[in-house]
Amino acid sequence: MEDLYEQVKNHTASAVSHLLQEADLEAGDIVVVGCSTSEVMGEKIGTASNEEVAEAIFTALFPLVKKHNLYLALQCCEHLNRALVIEEACQKACDLDRVSVIPSPKAGGSLPRKGFDSMDKPVVVESIQAHAGIDIGDTFIGMHLKPVAVPVRPPVDTVGKAHLTMARTRPKLIGGERAVYRI
């Protein structure tokens, strides 16, 4: 099992680094992460929450996001209506309403719980509009991304046994064929 956790940490760090490079994020932007630790272990989503996997992912993810002065949002599972664990500083900067719940491995997920236990002044909010995102295990983070989401091809396509997808966002293109855009 030790090898699996090292692989999970390494694949997560590689994916996060690649996303941060490709997304061209600015300080204060938000990265949303959805993760099924069950899927990472090769089990059906929502059936085998794993706190050790959450630890490996969080350990790889959080320092990289913080190093770039970004906010991290950890998407909970459907039992908490995909609410998000964020730091209070993000909640205040984005003027988001808090909800009263503490995620657990069986209601929220192991990664959001790890974030709740490890972040500085964690709070839970119902929704967010993130600038980029990582989806480990097909948890469907799209509802928490700003329009327009643009796929970012990860350097690895799995974390453990879970399918990995990533996206960045860009401003909407408006104005038609005569408009000039800076992309």
Question: What are the domain boundaries of the chain?
Answer: 2-169
Q: Which residues pair with 32 in a beta bridge?
A: 73, 133
Nearest to 75 by CA among 93, 61, 95: 61
* Close Cβ partners of 180 (under 8 Å, ≥ 6 residues apart): none
Two structure tokens written together for 70: 């970004």
Q: Are 73 and 126 in contact (CB under 8 A)?
A: no
At the topology level, CATH places domain 2-169 in Rossmann fold (3.40.50)
Radius of gyration of the chain (CA): 16
Q: Which residues pair with 131 in a beta bridge?
A: none
What is d(CA 101, CA 124) in angstroms, rounded to the nearest whole number? 7
Two structure tokens written together for 97: 């309403």
What is d(CA 155, CA 23) in angstroms, rounded to the nearest whole number? 14
pLDDT in tens, the chain (183 residues): 569 899 999 999 999 999 999 999 999 999 999 999 999 999 999 999 999 999 999 999 999 999 999 999 999 999 999 999 999 999 999 999 999 999 999 999 999 999 999 999 999 999 999 999 999 999 999 999 999 999 999 999 999 999 999 999 999 988 888 888 877
